[in-house]
Structure 1
């Protein structure tokens, strides 16, 4: 699977050519970890130490999806993917460090977990994130996986009011009870304002466009200073437009 995944955008005069592939070497994984560090520490205020690298025990079990500027060689976007076979080796999903997930235990063998999504600020015009999603779609097709889970994060630099307001906005997209999860360290949304004007982050909007649902209240991640919303996307419930675009139908 590592050698099969390779997609690219056509070169354009106005924008650099981008390509997406899975990291094949430790050096390429390190590039992703450095980008993650820069984004998470600067934009979320995460305390990740001083070595310039974001890493944890899950990295060694994940495939790392990279978007690279083919002209400069710079890694400008990344997503890490935990296949169910590797989650079984770990005996858990990363998300289980934040949520009680018993209700979706039945999906474990067919579920890919994605996380640590980030795109360089200069490449947030949509092309990089679409390449990442295209790469994930191809990964799922090659592996025959049926479901995807992942967290979408909102900064808590404002004290949590934007996150609480976003949760209120997302209520129409709440998963059915059989697919809900429960935060181990919940954000106390009832103590926060829920009327703050907030534009859903691009990752949240992307999930919703694809047909994903939000699995319940957000978890409070003190290490990254974020509220994390668990999202679930089932291929058989994907928006027909994107199911066709990604080749599922």
Structure 2
């Protein structure tokens, strides 16, 4: 287990957390079990259930898997997987290319890191886990010389897509990427016109992207497998909010 950071600062009543990168197949399976619990069981995706109780795909073998553990129990309570530009080239592309046409970003490929499968145990969603994971991503980007972070942020369609549409309209007006960074979904999710009575409930992951300075890069894609609308997010490090930069880029240095 490759450790990245010192334990996070916690209050006396809070769990002590550590961040590392999975270095064995057993640790990757721990990550996949947490993802299964949160994504497949938690969202009731019966079509994706399996006897191994693992959420996995072909990209797992090419990604680095960030792990946050509760030091008292050693249980994995948070994870994020990150794909370097070199690994994406070996694998013939990024995960998000399954959902979006990234042609306009071709000139950036050697400087892009992709983050995905963000997952936090329901009992550990106070904010400390995601802060550690973001710091780990910052360290990964520094190590690989990356200047841009991309990722798909999912919004559940359990309500028929009303919240996904409300979120898109709420953030597209002020957080849409310039035209040269726009992407096109291969299978677009049909966005309904804005409604005056709609109040978007923005998932924490998207909030984190936006607060850090990220853009949304176009209309969402329809992920039928996970029954979600996926927003393509782009965070140039040059736009990283100074408050977050001081924290992430300091804490993200590998040890």
Please, what TM-score do these two structures have when normalized by structure 2? Answer: 0.92
8 Å Cα contact 1:161-1:192 kept in structure 2: no
Per-residue Cα deviation, 1:10-54 (whole angstroms, up to 9, x for no partner): 353211100111001000000000110111113433332222100
Aligned to 1:63: 64
Is the Cα contact below 8 Å between 1:184 and 1:219 reproduced in 2? yes
C-alpha displacement at 1:70, in angstroms?
A: 0.6
1:173-184 equivalent positions in 2, closer than 5 A = 173-184=175-186
Match of 2:253 in 1: none
| Distance of 1:15 and 1:124 partners within structure 2 | 12
**Aligned residue number for residue 120 of structure 1:** 121
The separation in 1 between residues aligned to 2:104 and 2:154, in whole angstroms, is 22
**In the alignment, is residue 230 of structure 1 matched against residue 229 of structure 2?**
no
**Contact 2:153 2:231 (C-alpha < 8 Å) held by counterparts:** yes
Q: Does 1:131 align with 2:132?
A: yes
Matched residue of 1:116: which SS?
A: strand
Alpha-carbon offset, residue 90 of structure 1: 0.9
Please name the residue that 2:12 is paired with: 13
Corresponding residue of 1:151: 152
Deviation, 1:84, is 0.5
Matched, 1:197 2:199: yes
User: 1:149-185: CA deviations, max 9, x gaps?
Assistant: 0011110001111101100001110101110111111
**Cα distance in 1 for residues equivalent to 2:44 and 2:227:** 7
Between the aligned partners of 2:194 and 2:186, the Cα distance in structure 1 is 18
Change (3 A) 1:71 1:16: same
Q: Is the 8 A contact 2:105 2:181 kept in 1?
A: yes
The residue aligned with 1:99 is 100
Question: Quick check: 1:188 aligned with 2:165?
Answer: no
1:114 CA drift (Å): 0.6
Per-residue CA deviations over 1:203-230 (Å, capped at 9, x if unaligned) read 0110011100001111110100111001
Tell me how far 1:191 sits from its aligned partner.
6.7
Checking the alignment, whether the CA contact within 8 Å between 1:62 and 1:82 is kept in structure 2 is yes
Q: Secondary structure at the match of 2:60?
A: helix
**Local SS of the residue matching 1:170:** helix
Match of residue 50 from structure 1: 50
Partner Cα separation in structure 1 for residue 238 and residue 89 of structure 2: 24
Query: 2:149, 2:235 within 8 Å by CA — same for their partners in 1?
Result: yes
* Number of aligned residues: 247
Cα-Cα RMSD = 1.6
C-alpha contact (below 8 Å) 1:221/1:228 kept by paired residues: yes
Q: Does the 8 Å contact 2:2/2:22 carry over to 1? A: no
Asked if the contact 1:62/1:81 (under 8 Å) is kept, the reply is yes
Partner residue in 2 for 1:214: 216
Paired with 2:42 and 2:16, the residues of 1 have a C-alpha distance of 26
Structure 1: gaps (5+ residues): none
Query: Quick one: distance in 2 between partners of 1:218 and 1:229?
Result: 5
Q: 2:165 aligns to what? A: 164
Alignment check: 8 A CA contact 2:82 2:115 kept: yes
Q: CA deviation at 1:192?
A: 8.2
Q: Which runs of 5+ in 2 are unaligned?
A: 251-255
